[in-house]
């Protein structure tokens, strides 16, 4: 059975919460974690929980300040949900309708839709095409 990972805007994806220390993430995790620098400009290591398709980013105090979850996970096939709505097999037209339901503060960005006010983003590499499937979701501190 697939693991369900509930998304709470501005707070968490599944058991991973903004503000958690790296040690807290690692101590409650039952999946392997790989640490890496996401880009050459990265200052802090990112945790990759590959079996769930989750990336956890940290600040200078090693506290989680950003979480990404992919909708395309090869092994475990987790199901991302938000307000009891499954994001599995949602296309960008579906996501745009969901954004309108969740908050009027969503705006288009480089790869999708984001609301910094509620701390939630949706991304797709071809988001201009309404039939393109959702690639992932991000949770960040609301501004």
For residues 63 and 96, membership in a common domain is answered with no
Same domain, 98 and 68: no
Predicted model pTM:
0.93
The arithmetic mean of pLDDT across residues 13-27, rounded, is 95
Give yes or no: residues 59 and 126 share one domain: no
Q: In whole angstroms, what separates CA 115 from the centre of its chain?
A: 13
Could you read off the pLDDT of 87-130 as tens digits, one per residue? 988 999 999 999 999 999 999 888 899 999 999 999 998 888 99
Q: 8 and 61 share a domain? A: yes
**Count of domains in the chain?**
2
- Tell me the CA distances in angstroms from 113 to 79, 110, 126, one per residue in order: 20, 8, 12
User: Tens digits of per-residue pLDDT, 43-82?
Assistant: 999 999 988 999 999 999 999 999 999 998 877 788 999 9
What residues make up the domain containing 115? 91-140
- Do 59 and 107 reside in the same domain of the chain? no
Residues 112 and 132 in one domain: yes
Are 108 and 75 contained in the same domain? no
pLDDT over threshold 70, residue 137: yes
Same domain flag for 14 and 73: yes
The burial of 24, by beta-carbon neighbours within 10 Å (0-12 exposed, 13-18 middle, 19 or more buried), is given as middle
- Reply yes or no on whether the pLDDT at 1 is more than 80: no
């Amino acid at each position: 059975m697939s693991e369900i990972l509930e998304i709470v805007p501005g707070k968490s994806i599944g058991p991973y919460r903004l503000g958690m220390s790296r040690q807290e993430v690692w101590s409650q995790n039952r999946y392997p974690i790989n640490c890496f620098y996401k880009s050459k400009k990265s200052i802090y290591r990112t945790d990759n929980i590959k079996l769930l398709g989750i990336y956890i980013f940290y600040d200078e105090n090693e506290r989680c300040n950003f979480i990404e979850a992919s909708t395309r996970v090869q092994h475990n096939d987790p199901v991302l949900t938000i307000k009891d709505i499954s994001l599995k097999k949602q296309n960008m037209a579906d996501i745009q309708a969901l954004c309108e339901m969740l908050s009027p503060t969503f705006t288009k960005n480089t790869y999708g839709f984001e609301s910094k006010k509620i701390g939630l983003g949706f991304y797709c590499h071809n988001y201009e095409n309404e039939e393109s499937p959702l690639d992932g979701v991000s949770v960040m501190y609301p501004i």
